[in-house]
């Protein structure tokens, strides 16, 4: 691996919706094997930035580079094909399907010839087990329907699914906002394990204690602009709060 080539690099990104300037100069760098935290008040432009990175919105100006090459995603499908996976707050899990069916949703492994194809259930079940076992402390049964799982287990499966498709960048929007303390711990442990495997992770979080616990760098957005960036270990909560509020940067 070349020295510190970031997985994702965003420069001077701009995006307007009519008269509203949602992004006026967003910057971001996500290196491999690091957790990058993106913080800022509601309306600071975090979600718009994420949607530009994942191909939902085409940016008006600026540049996005993925593994060093400039990209202009036309659709979320293209972003996914390149290895950018997003875990939205709604998790995109189908409750009436099993864990393994969700894991392989629209990526099914099949037997058969020509138009006659059927699912290779045994293989998908075994591989779901193998993939999740590596990542999760508390493995839910992969044959269980998602409906029967706890919020933390669901979150873990959504993240595990995003991470297990050879993705280079996993983006998480408030991954623990809806969870209790113990389940939050399990999800944070999962994020730590993914970091160990070299995945670049971008986490939007309002929980600054969590940002301090899990991230390697912190990027602060305010009014559509990136106004501050630090290595997490070189900053404290008070300064981040001040930056979010506009007192610094």
Partner 1 sequence: MMPAGAAASRVPAGIEAVLRDPGFWGDNAAVIGLLVIGVAFSLLTPFFLTWGNISDLLVSASILVVLATAQQFAIVTAGIDLSIAANLPWAAVVFGLVYTGGFGIPAAIVAAIAAGMIVGVVNGLIIAKLRVNDFIATLGMLGVMNGVALIVSDGQSFSVSSPFLQALALGSIGPIRYFYLIAIVIALAAHFLFTRTAFGTHVLATGGNRDAARNMGIPVDRMRIAVYVINGALVGLAAILLVARTGGSDPSLQTSQLLSSIASVVLGGSSLFGGRAAVLGTVAGALVLTTLLNGFTLLQVSEFYQPMAVGIVVIAAAVLSRLQR
Q: How many CB atoms lie within 10 A of CB 200?
A: 25
Task: Rule CB under 8 A: choose which of 65, 71, 82, 97 binds partner 1.
Answer: 97
Q: Give dist(CA 43, CA 55) in Å, integer.
A: 19
What is the distance, to the nearest Å, from the Cα of residue 219 to the centroid of all Cα atoms in its chain? 15
145 in contact with partner 1 (CB under 8 A): yes
210 in contact with partner 1 (CB under 8 A): no
* Count of residues in contact with partner 1, rule CB under 8 A: 28
What string of DSSP letters covers 98-116?
BHHHHHTTT---EEEETTE
Draw the binding track, 43-82, toward partner 1 (x: CB under 8 A; -: no contact): ---------------------------------xx--x--
CB of 144 to partner 1, least distance (A): 6
215 in contact with partner 1 (CB under 8 A): no
Task: Rule CB under 8 A: choose which of 74, 94, 126, 245 binds partner 1.
Answer: 94
- 110 vs 236 by CB, closer to partner 1: 110
CB of 126 to partner 1, least distance (A): 16
Task: Rule CB under 8 A: choose which of 4, 20, 69, 90 binds partner 1.
Answer: 90
- 108 vs 236 by CB, closer to partner 1: 108
138 in contact with partner 1 (CB under 8 A): no
23 in contact with partner 1 (CB under 8 A): no
3-state helix, strand, coil in the chain (%, to 5): 35, 30, 35
Q: Give dist(CA 146, CA 161) in Å, integer.
A: 13
Q: Give dist(CA 113, CA 141) in Å, integer.
A: 31
Are the C-beta atoms of residues 147 and 97 closer than 8 Å to each other? no
CB of 93 to partner 1, least distance (A): 6
Compute the Cα dihedral for 228, 168, 47, 176 and give only its sign: negative
Which residues, 147 to 186, sit near partner 1 by CB under 8 A? 147-148
- 6 vs 55 by CB, closer to partner 1: 55
* Phi and psi based region of residue 18 (left: phi greater than 0; alpha: psi -120 to 50; beta: remaining): left
The residue with tokens 């070349």 is: 2
């Amino acid at each position: 691996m070349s020295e510190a080539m970031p997985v994702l690099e965003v420069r001077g990104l701009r995006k307007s919706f009519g008269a509203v300037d949602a992004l006026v100069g967003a910057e971001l760098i996500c290196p491999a094997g690091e957790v990058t935290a993106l913080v800022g008040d509601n309306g600071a432009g975090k979600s718009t930035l994420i949607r530009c990175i994942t191909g939902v919105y085409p940016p008006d100006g600026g540049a996005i580079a993925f593994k060093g090459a400039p990209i202009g995603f036309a659709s979320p499908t293209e972003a996914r094909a390149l290895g950018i996976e997003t875990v939205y707050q709604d998790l995109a899990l189908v409750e009436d399907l099993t864990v393994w069916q969700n894991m392989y949703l629209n990526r099914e492994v099949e037997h058969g010839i020509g138009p006659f194809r059927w699912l290779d259930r045994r293989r998908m079940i075994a591989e779901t087990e193998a993939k999740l076992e590596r990542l999760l402390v508390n493995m839910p049964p992969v044959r269980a329907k998602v409906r029967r799982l706890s919020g933390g287990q669901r979150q873990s499966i959504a993240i595990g699914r995003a991470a297990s498709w050879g993705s280079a960048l996993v983006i998480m929007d408030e991954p623990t906002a809806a969870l209790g303390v113990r389940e939050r711990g399990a999800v944070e442990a999962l994020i730590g394990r993914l970091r160990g495997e070299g995945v670049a992770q971008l986490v939007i979080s309002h929980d600054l204690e969590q940002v301090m616990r899990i991230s390697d760098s912190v990027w602060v957005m305010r009014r559509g602009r990136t106004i501050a960036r630090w290595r997490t270990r070189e900053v404290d909560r008070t300064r981040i709060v001040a930056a979010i509020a506009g007192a610094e940067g």
